[in-house]
Structure 1
Amino acid sequence: MNHYHYIFTGGGLSALLTLFEMIQSGRFSDKKILLIDSSSKDKNDRTWCFWDTENLFDEIISKKWNIAWFKNESFTNQLNLSPYEYKMIRSLDFYKLIFEAINKHPNIEIFHDDVIDYSELGNHCIVKTKTKSFTCNQIFNSIYNPEVVTSQTKFPLVQQHFIGWFIKSKEAVFTEDCPTFMDFSVEQKGNTRFMYVLPTSSNEALLEYTLFSKDLLSTSEYESEIEKYIQQLGITEYEIVEKEQGTIPMTCFPFWKNNTKNIINIGSAGGWSKASTGYTFKNSVKKSKELVQFLKTNSDFTKFYKSNKFRFYDLLLIDILYQTNQYGSAIFSSMFKTGKAALIFKFLDEETSFWEDLKVIWMCPKGLFIKALLRRIF
């Protein structure tokens, strides 16, 4: 049975970012590392977007924007994002970059199979796949088990779920330099529903029908809403170039409490997505850097967690979306109608002062948050 210093169970975004950060640090070249994932990562299976003021992964950014639309049934607001830019990365470009780096390091191995079990046995761990077993000192687990969250009621679970179409249309209807960040003018049907449009040219764009809600829809319902939206844009002929879909858990469940000395949960399994928005890429970049920095001086994974005020803010919003899902449009509309996008982005990046927090919170419907606060207190 082969033994490794570290094994990654699952090779998604968080695992690849952490492994890339380990490579960049230059501190782990003497460690045997194994990455286990059933996928070969040779297809463009998703799109990641994030706002940024730096040059984060600029070499693989496929598109960036300085302005964006926010829309609902009663107003349209063009947001000035400065000093931020809104950036898009296609997953295949990300995979190529990471695996090119991995292939230069003979201490890192990749094994394609399904992980069926992993556990800690004293001072070492064991990982079982369908065909093999391995031992290691420590495990980075990114395989999300929804039952961990759904088996309790203290921390509700809201899903961000979506289907997206990359289309190429006959008509030039898109404004290439201005994406639609959220369009709540679509019928809400008792939920928080919006359309998300990322144009790459005047006749090419990614359109995603997105919900923040408890329950998923049938594929046909997402796609019929996308078709309806395309018609409303005035498009009569179009080609679907690619499709993508996803589900991101939005919850403040304390995943870190399930870490052990030698097993850490990362990614969705570790609560690395921003609970109040579902944004994952930039949050995972931050967490992966923190984790690799932690590894330089500490080997006990139960100590890798820092709580902050933003988790409580997220908890209140998730409580509202779970209890009264129909108010999502009103909450986000109140923020983006009067607020500066840069302040909101800074707040969502968890980089604001308490005074700046109050500015953002004051924009929101106060009755909803007071009720959520009282429910949490009592």
Structure 2
Amino acid sequence: MKHFDYIFTGTGLSALMTVYKMVLSGKFKDKSILLIDENTKKANDRTWCFWDKNDTLWEDSISKKWNLALFVNEDFRRDLDLKPYHYNMVKGLGFYNQVFDLISKQENITFVNQKVLEIEESENIILIQTDAESFSCSKVFNSIYNKRKVENQTKYPVLQQHFIGWFIKSEQPVFNPEQATFMDFSVEQRGNTRFMYVLPASRTEALLEYTLFSHNNLEKAEYETEIKKYIQNLGITNYEIIEKEQGSIPMTCYPFWKLNTKNVINIGTSGGWTKASTGYTFKNSDKKSTELVSFLQTETDFTKFHKKSKFWFYDLLLLDILDRKNELGSTIFSSMFKKGNPTLIFKFLDEETSLLEDIQVILKCPKMLFIKALCHVIIKTMK
């Protein structure tokens, strides 16, 4: 059985960001690192988006940037000037290529295309069993999501950001390639929080995603029917579907960090690195992976890594509302974006605002909803 210093069980966004930064730091050349995943990471299987003011470490992976965005509901449309931010789209394959181009050149890093079956931890060593062989290590970075553990509890709401997206090429030039549609709530809500998300690459090409923040996924045909309706409403009569993608991202304030041990840390979705109130993953994982690489250089006990912030509590209040009254998502987000400063909202969603700035954003939201949520959360946590 081969032994490694570090093993990553699952190589999703968070794992690859962490390993990439470990290499760039130059501090882990003497550590043997194993990456295990049943997915070879050679397909364009997902799209991430994030906003930032400056160029980032991931410029080579960014396929499109926008400085303008659009927010829509059934009552109003608002064009958003994002400056000083720009909205970035990262396609999965571009990101995988950037990371693997670097880590494949490192003699101390090994990747195996296998499925992890079990992680067995003892006091001094951790055993990893895959569908092909076994490995041992000193530290594990786990990003394999334990759905059952999270959904079998009732203290913390669990919703899903679930979607199907089509990247299409239209014969009609209907898209504005300089403006992304951030949220379009003009689609029928049907008792849920439902919106369309449009990322134009050119006048004739765009990714359109039908997205919900709700408890249960739909039948595939329902997502696709709604995408077809939206395309028709745009005035498109002839188009080609270039690619499809789908996903379901947990939205919860469940305290994943409590599952960490001295030698096993949960990262990514499994570690609560997804922004609970929006399902955005890229920016949060970028920040957390940087913090983790720095942590590894001075600490050895993974139970010391997590720090809970005020934003965790803000997210909990929103999820409490959507958990009990899922149809109110359009009302809440519309109240924020109708008159709110978009750059301040983005700063708030990036968890970089001061308390005074928090208040400016929160006061745009329906106050009574959040007061009731606050009371409900307090009562629930006291039980």
Provide the residue aligned with 2:2 in structure 1: 2
Corresponding position of 1:298: 299
Q: Look up the match of 2:273.
A: 272
C-alpha distance in structure 2 between counterparts of 1:150 and 1:177, whole Å? 40
C-alpha separation between the residues in 1 aligned to 2:24 and 2:248? 30
The residue aligned with 1:230 is 231
Aligned counterparts of 2:215 and 2:303: Cα–Cα separation in 1? 30
Q: What's the offset of the Cα at 1:122?
A: 1.0
1:78-134 Cα shifts (integer Å, max 9, x gaps): 011011000011110110110010111010000111000002111110100011000
Could you say what the CA RMSD is over the residues aligned between the two structures, in angstroms? 0.6
1 CA distance for matches of 2:232 and 2:274?
A: 33
Moved more, 54-63 or 84-93: 54-63
SS at match of 1:201: coil
Tell whether the 8 Å contact from 2:161 to 2:213 is kept in structure 1 after alignment.
Answer: yes
CA–CA separation in structure 2 for the residues paired with 1:170 and 1:246: 28
Instruction: Quote the offset at 1:59 in angstroms.
Output: 2.2
Q: Give me the whole-angstrom Cα distance separating, in 2, the residues matched to 1:65 and 1:155.
A: 35
Provide the residue aligned with 1:38 in structure 2: 38
Is 1:210 aligned to 2:211, yes or no? yes
Q: Deviations over 1:36-77 (max 9, x none)?
A: 001111110011110001211112211101110000000000
Q: Could you say which residue in structure 2 is the equivalent of 1:98?
A: 99
Paired residue for 1:356?
357
Q: What's the CA shift string for 1:4-29, capped at 9, x where partnerless?
A: 00000001111100100101110001
SS of the aligned residue for 1:62 comes to strand
Cα distance between partner residues in 2 of 1:150 and 1:88:
30
Does residue 21 in structure 1 map to residue 21 in structure 2?
A: yes
Mapped to 2, the partners of 1:185 and 1:119 lie a distance apart of 49
Q: Distance in 2 between matches of 1:347 and 1:124?
A: 41
Q: Which segments of 5 or more consecutive residues in structure 1 lack a partner in the other structure?
A: none
For residues 92-241 of structure 1, the aligned pairs below 5 Å read: 92-241=93-242
Q: Partner residue of 2:333?
A: 332
CA distance in 2, matches of 1:159, 1:61: 26
1:135-179 per-position Cα deviation (integer Å, ceiling 9, x unaligned):
000000000011111111110101000000000001000011011
> 1:287-326, aligned counterparts within 5 Å?
287-326=288-327
Runs in 1 of length 4+ with deviation above 3 angstroms? none
Query: Number of paired residues?
Result: 378
Report deviation, 1:3.
Answer: 0.1
Q: CA deviation at 1:377?
A: 1.8
One-letter identity of the residue aligned with 1:339: G
Distance 1:155 1:244 in 2: 29
Give yes or no for contact 2:60–2:98 (8 Å, CA) kept in 1: no
Q: Deviations over 1:165-197 (max 9, x none)?
A: 000001000011011000000000000000000
* Letter matched to residue 251 of structure 1: T
- Distance in 1 (CA, whole Å) between partners of 2:118 and 2:321 is 36
Amino acid at match of 2:105: K
